[in-house]
Structure 1
Amino acid sequence: MTKTTLPTMLSFSAPDLREQIEALPEGTALIGISTDGRAIAVDLNAECPHVLVCTSSGGGSTTMLRSLTAQFLHQGAHALVLDSKRISHLWARGLPTVTHRGNTAGIHDALVGLGEELARRLDLADTELDAAPRLIVSMDSANSTLHHLTRYWEKFRSNDDPHTSPAVAALEAVLWAGRAARVHVILDGTPFTSVLGAAPHELFGTVILARVSATTWQRLAPLTGPAPKPNRLTGRGHVIQDGEAHETQAIWMTDADVVTWLTDPDDPTA
């Protein structure tokens, strides 16, 4: 296989890239370009329509969440952005089709509401569901967020309440049944089976890894062989789909890129 020399950064403003993104069918978003020259994309209509992003510090996970979420918003989806650091996704604040939550109580209530929305959508007729906007759940720093949600529930639950946080239970329900309800999760972290109840490769059809250890690679991509040598370039990682790993340069979209594109899509400078 001939390898393509990739740029050190794949900016949203690169020639023809925006046009390529806007030409994608609904439910598809571009992750980046692989070293064999192929466009690597996420397909929400696939069998397992969720995305797991795992990188070490500086590996670009926040940028990947922002890029993918923005593309689906541009196609008409709505989004729930769970930003436990409160500053990682400032672009999401104020956009009409985005709900942004940062503190633990707000994230808890949003996920409980998500569970109710999932149940409502699962009861809709096919024609009603097709008319409903896709819902993207974008969760940054999932490991710490899930830990805080568990601690939060332990603090407030009564003896008659279930031991599992209803917020965590709602997220797990979406991961299993979301495809049937047009609800999709883009999650940044390394979820453990003790929290979400299944191995990551069973829940996520697309896994994006960058600068991870061999142990993390083996746990999150067990069917793809040994971990490759990490690449230190910003946005460079591997996308695992259908048991294959594609070295990929991911799209770089800034907060300003996203806000301008979503609020003024006819602006050619967006």
Structure 2
Amino acid sequence: MKKTALPKMLSFSAPDLREQIEALPEGTALIGISTDGRAIAVDLDVEAPHVLVCTASGGGSTTMLRSLTAQFLHQGAHALVLDPKRIAHLWAKALPTVTHRGNIAGIHDALVGLGSELKRRLDLEGDLEDVPRLIVALDEANATLRQLARYWETVRQKDDPKTSPAITALEDALWAGRAARIHVIFDGRPHATVLGPETREQFATVILARFTADTWERLVPMAGPAPKQRHPQRGCFHVVQQDSTHETQAVRMTDADVVNWLTDPEDNES
């Protein structure tokens, strides 16, 4: 298809875009519009059930996590938002179906609770019709996992496992999430030494911005050589799905957009 210039901004406040998002089927969220004019979306029920977002600092990963999580919440999902900066996802504190955790002890306990919830759901043996999806949005994942490991060293007792149970629960959710309707949106670069050597395979959609050639090669080697990043346009990502790559302008949702939409969905003014 013929390439066109990406729009400079793709704002959720545009009525036609909001209508397009609200028409998506359950389990699908719009990432943005590609250079060939196609809508690029993530479908949690196709291929691996999780999403990987990896950018350099200031690359827009927090905005991406907010946009995708909000869309799934609008469809009836619940969410666990892990916000180690404590202020990156303040929108999440205003919503009844979202659990927001910021300090490392709270994140640890929330992930341990996630492990229990995963087991509960798996014990239902597929009878999940009345169980809402659970989105686990993990911001600054690499730094958070390192902090969790250090935190566990300070609190674990003699007979406790060496590996943090919070990290184990996250890894279990990545492997068994599909069967339990639990989906992780992971902001970072999953290291094999922390989450296991094959964790990358659990992400069917990989969203990158301001990446190095080394990062591209490690995360999406099946997509070929790293494309040239022609411009630092805000909100521009490369989305890799099933070996295909789409240069994409992402949907931008502000904190106010999300809160207004999810608390008063009949209000057409975001």
Instruction: Tell me which residue corresponds to 1:203.
Output: 202
Tell me, in whole angstroms, the C-alpha distance in 2 between the residues paired with 1:236 and 1:259. 24
| Range 220-229 or range 175-184, more displaced | 220-229
SS in 2 for 1:96: coil
Partner of 2:77: 77
CA distance in 2, matches of 1:15, 1:157: 52
Q: Distance in 2 between matches of 1:138 and 1:126?
A: 23
Q: Distance in 1 between matches of 2:125 and 2:54?
A: 36
- Report the equivalent of 2:167: 168
Matches for 1:90-109 after TM superposition, within 5 Å: 90-109=90-109
Q: Is the CA contact (8 Å cut-off) linking 2:137 and 2:185 kept in structure 1?
A: yes
CA RMSD of aligned residues (A): 1.0
Give the TM-score normalised by structure 2: 0.97
Structure 1: gaps spanning 5 or more residues: none
Report the secondary structure of 2:132's partner residue.
coil
CA contact (8 A) 1:33 1:40 kept: yes
| Runs of 4+ displaced beyond 6 Å | none
| 8 A Cα contact 2:190 2:200, kept in partner | no
So what's the TM-score if we normalise by structure 1? Answer: 0.97
**Alignment map for 1:246-261 (pairs within 5 Å):** 246-261=246-261
Q: Is the 8 A contact 1:58 1:234 kept in 2?
A: no
Match of residue 145 from structure 2: 146
- The answer on 1:133 being equivalent to 2:136 is no
Q: Distance in 2 between matches of 1:200 and 1:122?
A: 20
Matched residues, number = 269
The Cα of 1:5 is off from its aligned counterpart by: 2.2
SS in 2 for 1:130: coil
Give the counterpart letter for 1:23 in structure 2: A
Structure 1 residue 4, shift from structure 2 partner: 2.3
Please state whether the residue corresponding to 1:87 is helix, strand or coil.
Answer: coil
Kept in 2: contact 1:192–1:199 (CA 8 A): no
Q: Give secondary structure in 1 for the equivalent of 2:94.
A: coil
Contact 2:12 2:252 in 1 (8 A): yes
Shift of 1:200: 4.8
Deviations 1:66-106 (A, max 9, x none): 00000000000000000000010000003100000000000
After TM superposition, give the deviation of residue 14 of structure 1 in Å. 2.1
Mapped partners of 1:169, 1:157: distance in 2? 14
Aligned position for 1:185: 184
Q: Tell me, yes or no, if the aligned pair for 2:53 and 2:188 is still in contact at 8 Å.
A: yes
Give the structure 2 partner of residue 28 of structure 1. 28
